[in-house]
Structure formats: C-alpha cells, structure tokens
Structure 1
Amino acid sequence: MLRQSMFAPAERAVASRLLADAEASLERDARRTRECLRRLAALIEAPSDSAQGPGAIARGGLAPWRLRRVEAHVDRRLASPIAVAELAAVAGLSEGHFCRAFKASVGQTPHAFVVSRRIERAQDLMLTTAEPLSQVALQCGLADQAHLTRLFRRHVGATPLAWRRTYRQEH
C-alpha cells in the first residue's frame, strides 16, 4: 500500500494502477512490467506540488504529448541511429530547448534515454528469443556485440551472456 503522505489522491490512484498492472504482467510480459515500473519511478521521483493536477508539466519540461511522441519515435527507431536533432524535430523544438526540457521531464539526457531503451530492448530480446548476441546488438541499434557488452555491463552490472543465462532459467 502506498503511504498517503507520498502522493496526492490522483497520483496515488495512478501509482496503485501502475503497481497492479506491473504485478499482473510480471510473469507474461517483462517489457510491460518494466514500463509500468519506469513510469511509477518517474512519478515517485517527480517533485510533488499539490497545486499541480494530474498531467502537469514539470517546470521547464516537455508537454506530455511531446514526450509521448518522442518516446514512441525512439521505440520505433531503436534499430537505427537516432540523433538529438531528429528527436528535437519530432518534438517541434530547437535542439538546445529540447535537451533542457527533456532532461527536466525525464531526468536524463536524450542520449542516455535512448541508450536505456536500447538496453531494455536487448533484455527483452535476450529473454524472448534465441538470437545470438551479435544479432541482438544490431536489432538494438548498436554497432556490434562488443558495443552491446560494454553498454550492458555499465547499465546492468553484468555481461549480456551472464544476464541471459541467469534470467532465461527463471522464465
């Protein structure tokens, strides 16, 4: 149960739904679970202001519709190179303004966000397919298996092969 002091009533309802959805999808859909938990973490980390209603924009942040467009674009194009200029164009903003607003909204730079999504996609592919790691790397927009291994170890704390062996056994 979520403490009442942590969230306003509307935020508490959203957080409860996200937790329930994550729990329900835990066994069957790792990607959906990860997305629910990512959104819940963003809700928890966001500064709470009782004057702001649901869907309020973080000061200096992106409008929710712009953020959704950028996230969808990143997810569609993960296998390809993604430039900040491209994301700024999707959001309809200059590169500088986009980078500042994106970081205010998400808490990380656009590049770090893209890398995180690539690692998440790699994890999904490693759990759901038997593709060799070199193919997983290419499908995630990374240059080669070595690139995947460097980024994966930095973000997850284990090599892709060790992670795959550990988590494939659980599923």
Structure 2
Amino acid sequence: MTFNTGLFTSLSGEGITPSDLFDALWGEFDGFDLDPCGQREHHYTAHRIATAGGNFYDGSIPAMDGLTQPWHGKVYVNPPYGRGIGEWVYKCWSSVCLLNDCELVVALLPSRTDTKWWHNWVMEASEIRFIKGRLRFGEHNNTAPFANMVVIFNGLANTNKEV
C-alpha cells in the first residue's frame, strides 16, 4: 500500500474533503459562510476561506489563522488531523455552544472515540454521523487508514450517551 504517510499521522493532517461529501453537506445546510481550514486551490464555495496555517482568502482580509479568528454564521471545518486537532474541536464546540458566535458548525473529523477531545467536545455535539467505509482525501490513490465522522454543532440538545 502506498500513500503519503504524513497525511495520516500527527506530522501532517491536512486532507482535501472529498467533493461528493462536501457537495452533499453544502446542499443539506444551504451553503457555508466560512471554511477556516481551507486550501485555496481546493476551495469549493464558502464565502470566506482561511487556512489552518494562517491565510484568509476573500480578497479583502489580510492573512489570518482560521483557528484564532472568530467564526460566524455557518462554518464547515475539516481540520488538520494531527496533535492539535483538540484545539479545533474545542473551537467548533465553543463557537456554537459557549460563545453563540455561530449558527452551525459542521466538522469532518477522524473517528477517534478514545481521545480526550472526543469525550470533552464531540460528545456535546448535536449530532454525530459515522461514515461507512473510509474516505479518499484529495488526490490520494488510497483511502485513509481510519474511519471518519461528520459532527454537527448547532446548539440543539444532543442525544449522545456515554456508557
């Protein structure tokens, strides 16, 4: 099996959302206002796009880091899957549930149910959708070696239970 091992470790976690998945989410939620983890060359149609490393691409805003800037409206997030993912998941949760800055945050995340960020923040989400099978990110020939989930934070009560 050959693939970019850096994509699937804590060395680098950036992967382009599969277009069929993004298009389905875009249609379901009637678009997104911000993609704070976007990559310009693979930007779909969010009104504003930022990179995890620090660039906003809307033509009028100087370079910014999508994690440290406030989020507003409807946000789509496919964060880097490395060691810092917990910060991104906290931002997803807090932008809706704590600060009430966002109407909605839809996050594509690895299904890592044994992590602190899972138990602290994902379990507080309004909805968790586990994806059957494994996703193929961007131009990679092979699927990811892990399962994914779509996590929805919208301020509604969750029905997620821990046993």
TM-score (ref. length: structure 2): 0.33
| Bigger radius of gyration among the two | 1
Instruction: Point out the structure with the larger strand share.
Output: 2
